[in-house]
Amino acid sequence: MRKYGYGRVSEKDQNEDRQLAALREQGIPEEYIFIDKASGKNFDRPEYQLLKRVMREGDTLFIKSINRFGRNKQEILREWQWLIDEKIHVVVIDIPILDTRKYAELEGIGQLIMDLVLQILSWLAEEERRGIKQAQAEGIAEAKKKGKHLGRPRMNLSTLSPGKRLILEEGYSDWKMGALSAVELMEKLELKKNTFYKILREYEQFIISIEKQKGGSL
């Protein structure tokens, strides 16, 4: 009969230290603690799937909270039922009533209360996930209204570094004379095809405008 711990964070840069500390306090050996860095929308997570393969009847799985287990109500309930069917005990550290060891021999009110609490908490976890997604969508929409660009900065002639600007200026002449291919210049600038030709067009327009200015000043 072994104790296992499971934790999850949504992003690779999120910290799992609080979950680890709570699991260690249960006396779980380090090698029996599994942590995923993945979304809680389903259970298709590498560490969790590995954990399912190693757990056996009579083992106990500790998780810190329901929302660390998952954030999809139906998925949570389905996975919880799988654990029960496999006769694996489940303990939610933050919610003492969600400790299936207490109800191993009971079929009455205690089990009913636990089932109701699980239903409510799994629903709350799902609603929280929906709220986060809605807030993100609203934030993106608001940023677009204000004309903010989200994601990676758009590459253009003005955002080229001085070093790459020099490579472009020198390479452009060689390219026009046929001494350098477009692919070679693209590789020197470390640009993708679409971005390269966009910047090239901008540079040619820049040259044309300079020539016009020179002509107008004569």
In a shared domain, residues 78 and 130: yes
Judge if 132 and 182 occupy the same domain. Answer: no
Q: At what angle do helices 162-176 and 193-217 cross, to 10 degrees?
A: 80
Assigned domain for 180 exists: yes
pLDDT value of residue 218: 47
CA gap 204, 211 in Å, rounded: 11
Percent of the chain exceeding pLDDT 90 equals: 26
**For 20-29, 68-77, 107-116, which range has the lowest pLDDT when averaged over its residues?**
107-116
- What CATH number corresponds to the domain at position 127? 3.40.50.1390
Given 119, 143, 167, the domain boundary residue is 143
- Among the listed ranges 49-58, 152-161, 177-186, which one has the minimum average pLDDT value? 152-161
Using one digit for the tens of pLDDT, what is the confidence trace for 162-201?
888 888 888 888 888 888 888 888 888 888 888 888 888 8
Structural domain contains residue 150: no
CA 137/CA 60 separation, integer angstroms: 39
Q: Is 4:37 a contact under the CB 8 Å cutoff?
A: no
At position 163, the amino acid (one-letter code) is G
| Residues 137 and 183 placed together within one structural domain of the fold | no
Q: Are 157 and 167 in contact (CB under 8 A)?
A: no
Answer yes or no: do 138 and 162 share one domain. no
The two structure tokens encoding residue 72: 């999809």
Q: 211 or 22: whose pLDDT is higher?
A: 22
